[in-house]
Amino acid sequence: MQLQASMLFMDKYLKTPSHDRFFFNKKTNVYGGSLLEVYDKNPLSKEGLKWFLELGYIPSHLTLFEDIEITTEFHSRKLVDNELKLLNTFNIEDLVDTNLHKGKTKNQLITEGGALFNHVIDKLYSEKNKNVVLPITSGLDSRMLLGGLLECTEAKNITALTWGFPGSYDYETGIKISKKLRIKHHALNIDNYKITEKRLMQFADASDCSVPLFDHWPKDWVKKITEDVDGALWMGLLGGTLSGSNLPHSFVDNPLVGFLKSNQRINSVVSLSSALLDERPTIHDLKKLTSNFKSVNSDTLDIYLHHHHLIAPTKIHRDLSYVLPFTDPKLIQFFLSLPLEFRTNRGLLRDMIIKHYPYLVKFPSNRNGGLGLDVYGKKRALIKRYKQFFGTWDAPSMRRKYLSLKKLIHQDPQIAVLVNEKLEQIEKRNLFKPEAFQILQQEFKGIGTRTIDHSRAVDALVSLEMILELVENKS
């Protein structure tokens, strides 16, 4: 049952996530492919609201609304026995084989992993009857995908995308790689991307009313380019988790505590949930959501909660075609079965790129402070010290992808009006402690003696109001 559930997760959710995210309204016994299809004036869930304010998404089967839960699939419009519990019982750990790599050297693993990855890419490329559209960043996953694709097709058959700010790692690296390899390339300066209430509402619908809205990727722009070339979007989702990005610094750490800390979205307050509601999600709350997990560790928490409930609804939309190579079961097994020393700092994946795709090594990487992947050890330490002295080492501006809400408000009067209007409306709902809500607004607007950039907190509150308006108007 566990292995079967695991395969269901990969086949039904990971491979075709845009078509297999279902919702069940326990009050009306109605299923639907989106939250708006099943909403029937359900009240706001206090538990869902806590998670939304704390993490910026709602993990596990929960949603923002009482009696509406996420399920994996339905059959003949009837609830299968324990179907709603299935979300927490699939088990990717069943693919982990601690003996799989026993006795293998690092070089053997680099060779074997590269060959397996190329095989997976080649198979997917030959099966997918659509052109390749690849978002290229300065990270490892998109570089790995590009290398694998160039092993089975020519650069002229790839269309690349980059969005962000000029001067940032992702924006500049995507342009450099595409120009060097003569790949058709489209770049979008996010400064030129117009945020409108209509686009925010569309994103709320597409993400199933589960996340804040202002930090969204330019889906309309991506969709047009993809449709113009009759393409599928190739994405490196899950690559970081598999290759070790979530491994703790010490295994003494409690993974549940680590998950709550690393997933907390808002850093201008200790906890937005506790500030506005007088309570916040606890380890006990998280334990309830993971009670059916075979094992609870940083990988399972990230895959089943973070990826399923934040990455998937924000990146995977129903009207786009996707290819997600890192969800291949053999790749999952290869990476999760590696000894920990090869996953720490994503070392083996980096070395696989260096060996198999050497022409991609010199380009800047956000994993390496803007240096190439082949710069490490004493050389890296020396360059880091030099750049730190001149203030050019890994500056926050070089990692920017989106403007803060505060800057958006200063740049666009319409956004300022929208934010003020939605804050007034959400305040009238009396969901939060009035004094705390007012203080947060005053600090954000610079009223009084303190000015604090509560951009992400205000984003959550404005987004919540817009989500509530969306579902109320649809009902």
Q: At what angle do helices 347-356 and 140-150 cross, to 10 degrees?
A: 30
pLDDT digits (tens, 9 = 90+) for 151-168: 999 999 999 999 999 999
Which long-range CB contacts under 8 A does 221-226 form with residues at least 24 apart? 221/163, 221/188, 221/193, 222/133, 222/135, 222/161, 222/320, 223/319, 223/320, 225/133, 225/159, 225/161, 225/186, 226/133, 226/320, 226/321
Average pLDDT per run of 10 along the chain, which is 475 residues long? 38 43 91 93 97 96 95 47 39 90 97 98 93 95 98 96 92 95 96 93 94 92 96 95 88 91 92 97 96 90 92 88 94 96 93 97 89 85 79 76 87 95 98 96 86 94 98 85
DSSP lists the bridge partners of residue 160 as 134, 185
Specify the pLDDT at position 75.
Answer: 37
- Domain over 106-242+311-387 is classified CATH 3.40.120.10: no
H helix count then E strand count, the chain: 22, 8
Give the containing element (helix H, strand E) for 470.
helix 455-474
CA–CA dist 54, 246 (Å, integer): 19
Length of the chain: 475
- Judged on CB neighbours under 10 Å (0-12, 13-18, 19+), 108 is exposed
Specify the pLDDT at position 84.
Answer: 37
Specify the pLDDT at position 49.
Answer: 98
Specify the pLDDT at position 77.
Answer: 37
Domain with CATH 3.40.50.620 in the chain: 106-242+311-387
Specify the pLDDT at position 73.
Answer: 52
Q: What is the DSSP letter of 221?
A: H
- Single pTM value for the model: 0.90
